[in-house]
Amino acid sequence: MRKFIDIRHVWALSPKQIKPFLYQMLMVGLLIGVAYLLFISTQENLEARHIESGFSFLSQEAGFPIGDSLISYSPSDSYGQAFLVGIINTVYVAIICVILATLVGIVIGIAQVSGNPLVSKMAEVYVEVLRNIPVLLILLFVYGVVLIGLPSVRDAIEFFPGGFLSQRGIYIPRPSAGNNFSILIISILFGVITTVIFLYWAKKTLNETGKNYPTIWISIVLLVLPPIVINSLIGNTLIWEVPELKGFNFKGGWVFRPEFAALVIGLVLYRGAFIAENVRSGIMSVQKGQIEAANALGIPANRTMRGIVLPQALRAIIPATTNDYASLVKDSSLAIAIGFPDMVSIGGTMIGQNGQAIEVIAIWMAVYLSINLFISVLMNIANKKFKLVER
């Protein structure tokens, strides 16, 4: 492999080696020259437009309000704080969307390969329609037509007891800790510990005697039963704060503003279609002969799926879905089009106020690159777990 030629050994180069060396030097020189020219003209432009440079603006007062914030923020806080609100919102939306899109993708993807022609056809229509429409169009439709088209607060639709849909947002009851909350936590911990012990014991029995227990169902019972029993016995563990109509708006409960709800719904519907396609093609990539062989051996269908098809399908699904998660995080920047204050839309407001585009865009890039790096590290770990073990 031809590496950079070490400058200390130039004297020892043969004429044949000198030529590529000169080319490289010329390229480097040209690049530095162009960069210098760009730097000079940028300096002049910034001065002519009275735009400061450097990151000192982050400590100045922002002066604009932000609709949704998970941390405390007021217009008198600094630009840095405002940016932090945006970064947290971006990460928050990304996490929620990744979880929900995965669920949608798995359900629709399995529906596509289910033997049921009605269900698989419906899933296919969903995937083919959603995948071939721009995501921005879906977002604008969900926001501008569906959510804004909901009734006013006064005529809000109660879609389940205590949950309301209205123009101003989606309201659902919020749980808060009651007097016996700590007992509930203890019962949940108890359930988790017994499940872990049971799973360990079941695996040991399986290895030693070959006796197989329905581990999934027993674990679910072990996990769910203790909290339910405790809750019905002593009560007063969780208090549900139900939203109530007071004056012109609902008070209490969890509120999802239409901008947030539209962003999540739109991104999940769109990206879910892609993940469904990954799931479908992953499952289809497992050779039919393997399933037939499992049938011939008398392995029940659900264990064939769990033990034979899925582990192999995941090998194809995980890399493709990693790309989709990265795209999903990037697509969350479309929040700017519907007014949800994510990092890009807050940064855009800042550029409008002080013109420091270079710094803001640099921060955007740094944050997106680190999020993507984080996702690929996590998925690499998952990938290793399901990698083909070659002997």
Partner 1 sequence: MTIIFQPAPDLTPPASKVGIFYWARTKLFNNLINSLFTLCGIAILITLTPPLLNWFLFDAVFIGTAETCREGQGACWSFVHAKIKLFLIGPYPMELVWRPITAAALLFGLFFATARHYLSSKKAVIGWMLLPLPIYWLIGGGFGLEVVDTSDWGGLLLTLVLAVAGILASVPIGIVLALGRTAKNTFIKVISVSIIELVRGVPLVTILFMATIMLPLFLPDGVEIGILYRVQFGIILFSSAYIAEVVRGGLQSIDSGQSEAAKALGLNQWMITALIVLPQALKIVIPPLIGRCIALLKDTSLVVVVGLLDFLGIAKAASQDAEWLGFDAEAFVFCAFIYWLLCFSLSRYGRSLEARGQNSH
Q: Rule CB under 8 A: which residues touch partner 1?
A: 1-4, 20, 24, 27-28, 37-38, 41-42, 44-46, 48, 111, 114-119, 122, 128-129, 131-137, 140-141, 144-145, 149, 330-331, 333-334, 336-337, 344, 348, 351, 357-358, 361, 364-365, 368-369, 372
Nearest CB to partner 1, comparing residues 88 and 239:
88
- Output the smallest distance, CB 59 to partner 1, in A: 23
- Which of 95, 100, 135, 97 has its CA nearest to residue 374? 95
- Among residues 134 and 307, whose Cβ is nearest to partner 1? 134
Q: Give the nearest distance from C-beta 292 to partner 1 in angstroms.
A: 18
Q: How far apart are CA 237 and CA 187, in angstroms?
A: 11
Contact 277, 109 (CB under 8 A): yes
Query: 51 or 185: whose CB is closer to partner 1?
Result: 51
> Over the range 81-99, which residues count as b (16 or more CB within 10 Å of their CB) and which as e?
bbbbbbbbbbbbbbebbbe
Q: Which CB sits closer to partner 1, 41 or 285?
A: 41
Q: Confirm if 62 and 77 have CB atoms less than 8 A apart.
A: yes
Give the nearest distance from C-beta 333 to partner 1 in angstroms. 4
Smallest gap from Cβ 220 to partner 1, in A, equals 17
Question: Distance of CA 99 to CAs 38, 311, 325, 371, 390, Å?
Answer: 43, 20, 10, 16, 32
| CB contact at 8 A, 216 and 251 | no
Q: Please name which of 108, 58, 81 lies closest in space to residue 279, comparing C-alpha atoms.
A: 108
Specify the residue, 28 or 221, whose C-beta has the smaller distance to partner 1. Answer: 28
Give the whole-angstrom CA distance, residue 276 versus residue 272: 6
Q: Min. distance of Cβ 242 from partner 1 in angstroms?
A: 27
Nearer to partner 1, 21 or 240 (CB): 21
In the complex, the smallest distance separating the C-beta of residue 6 from partner 1, rounded to whole angstroms, is 12
Residue 205 Cβ vs partner 1, minimum distance, rounded to whole Å: 29
> Residue 163 belongs to what H/E stretch?
strand 163-166
Q: Could you tell me the smallest distance in angstroms from the CB atom of residue 213 to partner 1?
A: 22
- In three-state secondary structure terms, 250 is strand
Vertex 240 angle, CA 238 and 241, to 5°: 135
Nearer to partner 1, 227 or 348 (CB): 348
- In this complex, which beta carbon is closest to partner 1, that of residue 144 or of residue 311? 144
Contact 73, 82 (CB under 8 A): yes
Cα 130 to Cα 120: distance, rounded to the nearest angstrom: 15
